[in-house]
Amino acid sequence: MQRIGRVAMISLHTSPLDQPGTGDAGGMNVYVVELARRLARQGIEVDVFTRATSSSVDPVVQLADGVTVRHIHAGPFEGLTKNELPGQMCVFAREVLRTEAMFPVGHYDVIHSHYWLSGQVGALAADRWGVPLVHSMHTMAKVKNAALADGDAPEPAQRVIGEEQVVEAADLLVANTGIEAGQLLDLYDADPARVEVVHPGVDTELFRPLGPAARAAARAARGIPQDAIVPLFAGRIQPLKAPDVLLRAIAVLLDREPALRERLVVPVVGGPSGSGLEHPTALADLAAGLGIADVVRFVPPVAQDELAEWYAAATLVAVPSYNESFGLVAIEAQAAGTPVVAADVGGLGTAVRDGRSGLLVADHDPSTWATAIGRIAADPAFRDRLAAGARRHAVRFSWDATAAQSLAVYQRAQELMRSSAA
């Protein structure tokens, strides 16, 4: 079996250096960074190709030992939406090929592309370099369009066709969960022999339970009373992530129990993204319209170490998304020992153990969500049992395991490419 020495990762539309929680940066950014770092620790060099979005960024940035981010100039630095990026794929692909041409033949052993735009470029590069293409969808247009949030725009036909082409071109497809693997088979007619399930991981050292004193300090540093009930949302503010469901649930909860208002703090950690950029104040306007602006706090996106403290300060973390391929926020919160209330959609059924590490909610009805949140808020013993179960569940997911399984996928992709060429 040929050893994997160098991996070319392609993340066209969002850089691993971007701050998760705003713009197009989210769980996929964390995934690319952590996978690349863990592969590098195993002696594998990783180059991440991404589109430059500022003239101030260096063309080449060392993210970590063995991990290099290469910024490709393709189109204007600012002002391009994700839906406009297909027009820059040819330029981006040309520059990726030009970069590889500076090295000896056979420099990269495998390409791992992330999201369909990157998969289109990866398919071209794989053909040119004679190496296998491994692709991770992360999200899929057909899945998103089947469960659109109110007011959200459907993904365009261009993306659907592009995804179908990438599924056909890839030597192997990586799915985050068995549910996602099934969606690739059912919706995209993927070959079952070319789909592998590899769970994302979590940094259990960074996201870990804090003792009572440290949790008290985390609350004090954020001006949160020690006896407060704190349902937290973390992520990009857009209809797909459904932070409005949490706010509407809080309004229902306060109608049922007005006395909770004195103890309730609802942090929303993140920034507008996607179609949420069209109305960046929509969530604040909703809070005001619901009469709960006094209990809601809007917090700009924060670095991972600070996010860990927000999780520690929370009573629970709400993940009301209409779809998630896995749900890294859910697994991070649980690793920090914080129960999660999540929509029972997509990969969240894998990321959360209902009744053991959190609660899964079958719909997006604010009344149902208010009941789930109120159940945890009203029963500290139940909350503590979920918190203990949350940590036990989360430690089953490690980035080291993700990297080891991804490496096995790369090697299998090499074997498949050789056998098909024989």
The annotated binding site is made up of 13, 19-20, 24-29, 82, 115, 139, 159, 236, 241, 302, 311, 314, 324, 332, 338
Backbone angles phi and psi of 316, in degrees to 5: -155, 160
C-alpha dihedral over 16, 402, 133, 189, to 10 degrees?
Answer: -110
- Residue 112 contacts residue 135 (beta carbons within 8 Å): yes
Cβ-based neighbour number of residue 321 at 10 Å: 26
Known binding residues for 1D-myo-inositol 3-phosphate: 13, 24-29, 82, 115, 139, 159
Known binding residues for UDP-N-acetyl-alpha-D-glucosamine: 19-20, 27, 236, 241, 302, 324, 332
Known binding residues for Mg(2+): 311, 314, 338
And the tokens for 318?
A: 């709400």
Contact partners, residue 281, CB within 8 Å, separation at least 6? none
Contact partners, residue 376, CB within 8 Å, separation at least 6? 315, 316, 339, 341, 359, 382, 383, 386
What SS3 state is found at 79? coil
d(CA 133, CA 122): 7
d(CA 185, CA 6): 30
**Among 317, 296, 297, which residue's Cα sits nearest to residue 307?**
317
**Among 344, 351, 355, 348, which residue's Cα sits nearest to residue 386?**
355
User: What is the DSSP pairing of strand 6-10 with strand 45-51?
Assistant: parallel
